[in-house]
Amino acid sequence: MKLGFVGLGIMGGSMAYNALQGGHEMVVHDLRREAATPHLEAGATWADTPRQVAEASDIVFTSLPGPTEVEAVALGEDGLGQGLSEGKVYFDLSTNSPSSIRRIHQTLSTRGIHVLDAPVSGGPRGARTRNLAVWVGGDREVYERCKTVLDSIGDKVYYVGPIGCGAIAKLVHNCTGYVVQCALAEVFTMGVKAGVEPMALWQAVRRGAQGRRGTFEGLAEHLLPGKFDPPDFALRLARKDVDLAVAVGREYDVPMRLANLALQELTEALNRGWGDRDSRAAMLLQEERANVEVRVPEDILQRALEDERSA
């Protein structure tokens, strides 16, 4: 099976090299030919255009900056679409928009070309060491057929759902991280300005309940199964704690934008009469606004958690 790879930047270069080390033939292309030097030295061949990559490959990967570049490479002049033929497979590893990859899929699938989105998470170090999550959206049968190739790129390859679902999972993951990052910056500036030495503060909060838990663990305990009674920690107490933190911010002139938003959410939930429910019941407000329910049957959730622990 011959692989093609377009985009040999910080992430793509390492992923392509790992795939090449997995014993696959490979043809590569990048805007900068020098980016392909280690791949060519390891046995890959060069193509002058994405079209030539597609013509010479069974499976093609792209790793590009964003939707504009992906659409240009996939559908533009001398692009992949002009070289791909029926039965060939195209994986986009970029962080792309769901609507963009769905447009590409719609255009190319009419000719029998398989398009899947497969964004990755793990950063440059993960790309080098193959410690990468790979979230795949598209035809499941094609995914299963190509999984051994994907395994040469990342150690946690996971099928998410139909086309575009991989991109959505990546955006949920990354957006969560940056929102949490902003919140941490907010509360740590409050804590340090209020008089706690930064290292001591960091070590203290790492020993608390939030410091010991993964970001998404609370979802499995409350929102996903829809369990808010009896409470692990009552909403009225959570609202009191956030109110106290915001008050410290006011005392020391520290802007607390995100904490104030959280306080508003908890106050609205309190006014719904949910004070003695679990504090995570406030998440129901967002479900109402979005007009969607986020639920997983408890038996399915428990099996997934057991699989995660045994992996």
The residues that are catalytic are 170
Place of tokens 């659409």: 71
Place of tokens 């986020």: 294
Burial class (CB in 10 A: 0-12, 13-18, 19+), 259: buried
Find the helix or strand (DSSP H, E) in which 178 lies. helix 165-193
Please enumerate in sequence order all residues whose Cβ is within 8 A of that of 203, keeping only pairs 6 or more positions apart, or say none: none
CA distance 70 to 120: 15
Give residue 142's identity as a one-letter amino acid code: V
Count of C-beta atoms within a 10 Å radius of residue 228: 19
CA distance 264 to 283: 12
How many CA atoms lie less than 13 Å away from 149 in the CB half-sphere? 25
CA Rg, the chain, in Å?
Answer: 24
CA distance 245 to 118: 41
Sign of the Cα pseudo-torsion (216, 206, 188, 238, in order): positive
Pick the closest to residue 246 from 191, 300, 302, 202 (CA basis). 191
Pick the closest to residue 6 from 25, 42, 32 (CA basis). 32
